Each structure stands twice: as structure tokens, then as C-alpha cells.
Amino acid sequence: MKRLFVFVACFILLSFLKAAGAHPPSDINITFDPETKMLQAEIMHNTSNPLTHYIKKIDLGLNGKEIIEHLVSKQDNNKSQKVSYLIVDVKDGDLITVEGYCSISGKLTKEIRVKM
């Protein structure tokens, strides 16, 4: 019984330690080129190991509706994840939303208003 208690306590402690190192993205830099209709985003997320702690998903929204769900298997580098998307049906005044999700915990959302 004592061994079971020690095992459970160690498991809980390790879970807390893993979550303590987790953090959501710190910023998202978004640019949109109205001529090419290309959106570029850089999701800032510092990590010591981009293979295990990374941006796992990026959601792109247009006027409140999700239009792209991009699943990512690893982060580009230990500082950020860069992505580019072609948005052919965007119009002047539309609102584009980018959400970046950490593989362990947290997310960040940023948005821009399109000016053509």
C-alpha cells in the first residue's frame, strides 16, 4: 500500500512539473498582403525542445468563422512557428483571427482588420 501511495504521489508531482514548464504563445505577428491575398503569421513561443513543447495547432478565422485548422507536428525552431495561408475570398474590412495553441497548455489569439 505504501508503494502505491509513493507511485501515485510521484506521478502527480511529475504532472505538475510538466505543466509548470508549459506556457501559451507570447505573441502573434500577423501581416496580410491584399494584392496576393497571402496572410503570414509568426507565433512566438520560446521552448527548449520544439519537438516535445511546441505550437501544435493554428486556427484561422474569417469574420468569426473558422476557415482553416492547421495541425503541426513540431515547431520550426525554439523561438517561433511561421505559417502562410492564401485567403482568396477576403474583402476589405474583414476580420482575420489567428489562434496558436501550445502542445502542453494554453493558447493565444490575435486578429487584424483587412485594408485593401
pTM above 0.75, yes or no: yes
Find the distance separating the first CA and the last CA of the chain, reported in whole Å: 68
pLDDT at 111: 98
pLDDT at 20: 42
- Residues of the chain with pLDDT below 50 are 4-20
* Domain ranges (residues) in the chain: 23-113
DSSP 8-state symbol, 41 = E
Q: What is the pLDDT of residues 28-51, one digit of tens each?
A: 999 999 999 999 999 999 999 988
Was domain 23-113 assigned CATH 2.60.40.730?
yes
Q: How many angstroms separate the Cα of 31 from the Cα of each of 3, 16, 85, 111, 112?
A: 55, 37, 11, 10, 8
